[in-house]
Amino acid sequence: MTKLFEPTQVGDIAVKNRIVMAPLTRNRSPGAVPNDLNVEYYRQRATAGLIITEATPITHQGQGYADVPGLYTKEALDGWKRVTDAVHAEGGKIVVQMWHVGRISHNTLQPNGGKPVSSTNRAAKGKTYLVNADGTGSFAETSEPRALETSEIPGIIEDYRKAARAAIDAGFDGVEIHGANGYLLDQFMRDGINDRTDQYGGSIENRTKLTFEVVDAVTKEIGAGRTAIRLSPVTPSNDSYDSNPQALFTHVVEGLAKYDLAYIHIVEGQTGGERDYKQGDNPSFDYKALCQAYEKAGGKADWMVNNGYDRATAIDAVDSGRADLVAFGKPFIANPDLVKRLEKNLPLNAPDQATFYGGGQKGYIDYPLADKVA
């Protein structure tokens, strides 16, 4: 039997298999508060070894999309407690992905209609999701950001620390720091975005400083064994680019090796797209070398891979030792019982892309379960 379906320990979290539900933004939490639909959605998928929630803003300022749940009000935290209770009642484990979108936002989503914040004052060539006056959703160009003042950065770090504590108090088994896909931490790390001249700009060491300070604050608050991070070395999502991603992310994982994290979550290639994606004139990214650099530096966290995996490639990744955990995204949208379907090699439901973002029950909690099998 493949290791994919065997229980394991992920930091301080005991999981019943190595199949992970990837974070999936679904825009079904009006007012940034988890509701009955969200409770049922996550409950249905509790057979995953680990659920990573949809990206969840740590503050109002960190908000970039309409109707995503937050992690910064009592009402939101109470809503999340209902979710974590439901998942735990089914024997599942769940961590929250802590999110600050940085410049990938719109001023109508920001406190007092202000500018989003970033490492830069240059707008991203990207879009965000808004809800119109008539209740329909649509995508809109991101707003012009302002570069964070150096004096504001300790406050950002404190926001992450407070959100991590709030998450554990709301019943989560841990947190995943979102350092991927062109959001705030990624905006600081990449030289294609970060144009700062202070101690957070210029060299790789300076550009990664904020990420390490956030990891340090969170691990001190809730423990490294309940802390994880997501990275996407070459994805172009949200106008993200770096001139030397191999050097950048080798430095990042070597720095993370000193923390005994639960896992490191790597998006291989273009998020939701080509696995062998190359940015500009950069050579193909060497993910094996990245993992080896982490291990050589003494890193012991589980290595989670993500992007376009199916049953065969997931089994191969785990059984070969290339990965400890495999995250599935779209298959979990359409198959709440994905673990059973993979284990029994049953056909998968096809996801309805028209219902990915916004809406109600349709395309969210109404996908059929597989017929009972022996």
Active-site positions read 183
One-letter amino acid of 333: I
* DSSP SS3 for 80: helix
Strand-pair partners of 160: none
C-alpha distances out from residue 318 to 147, 254, 280, Å: 41, 22, 31
Residue 352 CA: distances (Å) to CA of 36, 48, 53, 292, 368: 21, 21, 20, 38, 13
What percent of the chain is helix, strand and coil (3-state, nearest 5)? 35, 15, 50
The 3-state DSSP class for residue 95 equals strand
d(CA 53, CA 332): 12
Q: Bridge partners of 332?
A: none
Tell me the CA distances in angstroms from 324 to 146, 250, 319, 357, one per residue in order. Answer: 39, 19, 9, 30
